[in-house]
A and B are shown apart, each in its own frame.
Chain A
């Protein structure tokens, strides 16, 4: 630990790094809200206007935010809510109910949650009283009593909207949308989903009550914007306590982004997916390599992190297999080649393996049947192979039909990297047909 000098404005490097890690972690992992949403200004304005009209004028509305995973749907909604609540008129009036399709898995739970969040009269403490039917009647009664100009508007946010459409009869959706289309308490129903075909999931009468407003969030950044985003995500702002450190850091990030190899790596990530969440994952891996001894991200760090992201899972698993298991996999590959993807059983694999052993003078791998069976079962446990039909006890283990769950390229790649792979096994694998 370096001693802190009281008159020096500069913090010690260790301190700076700790602060830097804290700030950037918050940004990358905790999905910190940006000051202004980027690239979605039109959608932001549309949603803000809509919710404002509900909060201020008491107009009932319904809207769906649709976009692929990691496109910033929740971020947009949170930004809009933050901006909306800055107005005192909205702040004092708006009631919010947040539901999530993954938590509220049926209407009964969802209804209890709504009642609880609205603090209706049948709630005492955190407990909701009454049966499911009573709760529904109670909630509908409460909403019916309200009217446009006098009762407080309620905002319903339904995360994972498509899961609500799988509830029985879609009762909850029907009732919420029905209230939004009739002269009762003003409500706004906002759903977020990643399914583009979400309207086809709705029943006809539910669909008719939905206002068909959809906000599509399809982020389509160019590569330059993507690079800029990387830079802004990593850069420190002016209010960092140590100015010199933040200047150095920002300069180092700038040089990093101008590096050729870095741009290449980022281009590959960009080609694979445009969403920012996978980029954050990559940056997080880079950031974890920054320490007091190495206070900057180097291109090599990014290359390492990228290699980690793109590693093939099954090929990695193949590295950990024994020679016998590898031989069985090669035999399966040959069977697949000869019989064009027909399923096989243990006997066929064993025969294929025996053929290989006969051609060789020394029979170093001449194992007993039970050993082979054990290896075969281990492969099944790793889900490298998979039974064709899932019936468990009908046939004996030796004669159950299996399929190989690997691509040939994976087998070949694993063989190349296998530590100390015997040459004859390698040659056998390379040979075209057994």
Chain B
């Protein structure tokens, strides 16, 4: 294998087309990947992290910080922005120069790979995990002249959990060494992660410098979209408000918000071709996008099911009512199924056919089934609420 290969995706033969109209321009800006230079609505968090890291760099000491928050609340983006600003400050000699490296728990195959990646990003050396751990240990515990501060960002911290927790222990122990000059910023989703999964000596080394990112409120989401669009006039005011209110009510995830807006621009583009529209994304488009992304397909799936499948679902509900339980064997349901067939004037299905119908419903998870080799003895449960099934079967 070539040891110093430069991996790359081949480049395209002709450059990508640029956005041609307002909607396409808006779509490009609304893509999650186009992170703006300054993140709106996270000024306080930015300030806190900035001053924490800056003080550590100026003092030449080390420390840890734990950042938590649900996905899509701007944790990683904020930290990256802080680092950009600090780098700029270091470039103009306001603060001493430092080294920024980043690892992500999800982007490794094994927690011990963290050592390998840190070492490679620090020195460019390739080695095994054990050797890398030893080298890093040496580097952080011995004094060296003119050592720069290292800022290490550890994303998805919970993935670095091992049974002995030695990876986490080392990551949090190095900053406490006198000569390490290491600042570790850790990011994870849950607020109580240190108390929940870490043993005492690891949690105590992580310390109490914590910060949690709250989910975005609807006003913040609205502001985020506005700042992304940056005077490109593609949305009606009300439409934006609807999106942000809906998303804020459900999760407060900015990614979701942007995705819905992007989908709405597509729907608008399709509908503008044939009807009289203003060219702006309106309420109706946003409603459609919201329905597409938030509605569950169970009810439509039941409505589209074949006659026997619908009968089987009805038989399941009838049997549940008879038993007063939420679980029945296929044999019990099948008796009801045959009775229903006779009521409907259909030819009663054979057991094999009934099993096939049952399996089909199980494959798309309308039913939850035991393994099919149990045959007629397998137990059947509904994966949807009974009301949903009844509603879907009734509403014709």
Residue ranges of A at the interface with B (Cβ–Cβ < 8 Å): 45, 49, 56-60, 66-69, 89, 92-93, 95, 107-108, 118, 120-122, 124, 129-130, 132-133, 136-143, 145-146, 148-154, 169, 171, 174-175, 178, 181-186, 194-197, 204-205, 207-209, 211-214, 216, 218-220, 268, 270-274, 310-315, 383, 386, 403, 405-407, 409-410
- In the complex, whether B385 has a CB less than 8 A from a CB of chain A is no
* 15 intermolecular pairs with C-beta atoms under 8 Å apart: A121-B2, A121-B8, A133-B110, A138-B5, A150-B12, A151-B12, A169-B106, A171-B106, A175-B106, A185-B9, A196-B364, A196-B366, A216-B301, A310-B352, A403-B377
18 more CB-based (< 8 A) A-B contacts, given A59-B28, A152-B10: A59-B27, A133-B110, A142-B7, A152-B9, A152-B11, A152-B12, A169-B159, A171-B107, A171-B109, A183-B35, A207-B71, A213-B259, A220-B304, A271-B346, A273-B309, A310-B352, A315-B351, A407-B334
The one of A137, A204, A272, A314 in contact with B349, judged by C-beta atoms closer than 8 angstroms, is A272
Bound form: Cα–Cα A315–B350 in Å:
9
- In the complex, whether B14 has a CB less than 8 A from a CB of chain A is yes
Bound form: Cα–Cα A154–B11 in Å:
11
Interface-centre pick from A178, A182, A403, A407 (highest chain B CB count, 10 A): A407
Contact A142 B8 (CB under 8 A): yes
Residues of A near B351 (CB, < 8 A) are 312, 314-315, 407, 409-410
The one of B263, B297, B298 in contact with A213, judged by C-beta atoms closer than 8 angstroms, is B263
Bound form: Cα–Cα A146–B349 in Å:
58
- A59-B27, A59-B28, A272-B353 given; A183·B33 CB < 8 A: yes
Give residues 76-92 of B contacting A (CB, 8 Å). none
Contact A196 B297 (CB under 8 A): yes
Contact A148 B16 (CB under 8 A): yes
Contact B352 A122 (CB under 8 A): no
Q: Closest residue of chain B to A45, judged by CB?
A: B270
The one of B16, B33, B363 in contact with A57, judged by C-beta atoms closer than 8 angstroms, is B16
Q: Closest residue of chain A to B33, judged by CB?
A: A183
Contact A310 B19 (CB under 8 A): no
- In the complex, whether B137 has a CB less than 8 A from a CB of chain A is no
Residues of B near A273 (CB, < 8 A) are 306, 308-309, 356-357, 360
Contact A204 B8 (CB under 8 A): no
- In the complex, whether B124 has a CB less than 8 A from a CB of chain A is no
Interface-centre pick from A49, A92, A212 (highest chain B CB count, 10 A): A212
Residue ranges of B at the interface with A (Cβ–Cβ < 8 Å): 1-2, 5-17, 19, 24, 27-28, 31-35, 70-72, 106-110, 113, 116-117, 156, 159, 189, 253, 255-256, 259-260, 262-263, 266, 270, 292-294, 296-298, 300-301, 303-309, 331, 334, 338, 346-347, 349-353, 356-357, 360, 363-366, 373-377, 383
Contact A213 B350 (CB under 8 A): no
- A183-B33, A205-B106, A218-B301 given; A68·B363 CB < 8 A: yes
Residues of A near B349 (CB, < 8 A) are 272
Bound form: Cα–Cα A271–B306 in Å:
6
Residues of A near B5 (CB, < 8 A) are 121-122, 138
Contact B377 A386 (CB under 8 A): yes
B9 smallest CB distance to A (angstroms)? 4
A188 smallest CB distance to B (angstroms)? 13
Contact B353 A310 (CB under 8 A): yes
The one of A149, A151, A213, A271 in contact with B293, judged by C-beta atoms closer than 8 angstroms, is A213
Residues of B near A268 (CB, < 8 A) are 347
The one of B7, B16, B24, B331 in contact with A121, judged by C-beta atoms closer than 8 angstroms, is B7
A-B interface, 9 closest residue pairs, ranked by CB to CB distance from nearest: A208-B71, A129-B1, A142-B7, A58-B16, A312-B350, A218-B304, A271-B307, A220-B304, A121-B5
